Copies of this chain bind each other. A is one copy, B any other.
């Protein structure tokens, strides 16, 4: 199978390139290198010492894959010609700016939305023109749904309006509709925009697409990263770092594990290696022509508080003096809420979780301990300053 990965230099993109190449897929990776640059601009760096772009292109070649420099969002003609030349069976769309807090910096909203929408348009139009049967696998996020007081189905559900007495309408009708999306940041909103466009392209163009509503991914290794040079990036700053990964980075340098507010925020999570397993299953079981298939890609749901405790326990077991600190929540979100998620489709394709959170956290702490000095150097990025209201002041311990 021929797979084009857009955003192949990122956390998931590089991991997927190695994962698929090791399994005999013909892989072409594309990236504009912007993640490296944006992380530098917010004053941080990857905890893992990743290979330079030049070295990665060589490493990719050595593993039978191509890694090309191109901006998917701003160069649709180049992407179209790549698709025309490479004739992929599937394109995995990771070429989006993946940060909720970054999208809430005043003035950055449109940078995020424009990039994320334009990059998906480049890919959709390239597929339409040159490879109409190509399967588009787009990375969305579980955050598209927000935290409604309803269980979350996989994309669509039969629904009914209740307790409405207005006018002469017949409110007893039911219909299968897109489950309501309530994104909590302008980044999450950009992913909802993508979902809306995909559903419509499936309906009107016959595009075959899988819209992955992925939970928060954690972990810094897959079995393919068997030399230090092959490691994927791992961000821990307030913008590009995510919960478990940041907690582990904090623990290895003796920084308190910072939980935003009460920590009752519950989300779906998934280890990096399992994310790769799931995407491979999705590639092997493609959506049909005209199908907008939405898949909730998580292993299970956890509260942030619960995860902080797991990291503390595993860190202490390894002799690290870990503590949990609750700090002001820079986000605007419910800190205690109902959260139930349906995630059956991947199980039906054969997904079997490969590890537990505790085991994966332990593995991560051991690896990250080697890079303690790199993390220590950027200690100042571990406590957020950018509040989603627009203010910029460091979050205080509560």
Chain A positions within 8 Å of B, measured between CB atoms, are: 104, 106-107, 109-110, 113-114, 117-118, 121, 125, 128-129, 148-151, 153, 157-164, 166-171, 173-175, 177-186, 189, 192-193, 196-197, 199-200, 203-205, 332, 338, 340-342, 344, 388-390
Contact = CB atoms under 8 A, between A and B. Distances in A.
Contact of A183 (B128, B196, B332): B196
A189 B197 contact: yes
Contacts of A186: 197, 200
Contacts of A175: 148-150
A159 B162 contact: yes
Contacts of A390: 128, 205
B109 A113 contact: no
A94 to B, nearest CB: 19
Contacts of A163: 158, 174
A177 B174 contact: no
A146 B157 CA distance: 16
Contacts of A168: 340
B158 A174 contact: no
Contacts of A204: 104, 185, 332, 388-389
Contact of A177 (B117, B180, B197): B180
Contacts of A197: 109, 113, 186, 189
A180 B148 CA distance: 13
A196 B192 contact: yes
A344 B175 CA distance: 23
Contact of A178 (B113, B118, B181): B181
Given A162-B174, A178-B180, 6 more contacts: A148-B175, A151-B171, A161-B179, A169-B341, A183-B196, A203-B332
Contacts of A338: 173
Nearest to A171: B151
Nearest to A179: B180
B161 A173 contact: no
A188 to B, nearest CB: 8
Contact of A159 (B161, B196, B203, B342): B161
A148 B164 contact: no
Nearest to A390: B205
A149 B166 contact: no
Nearest to A168: B340
Central interface residue in A104, A184, A205, by most chain B CB within 10 Å: A205
Nearest to A197: B189
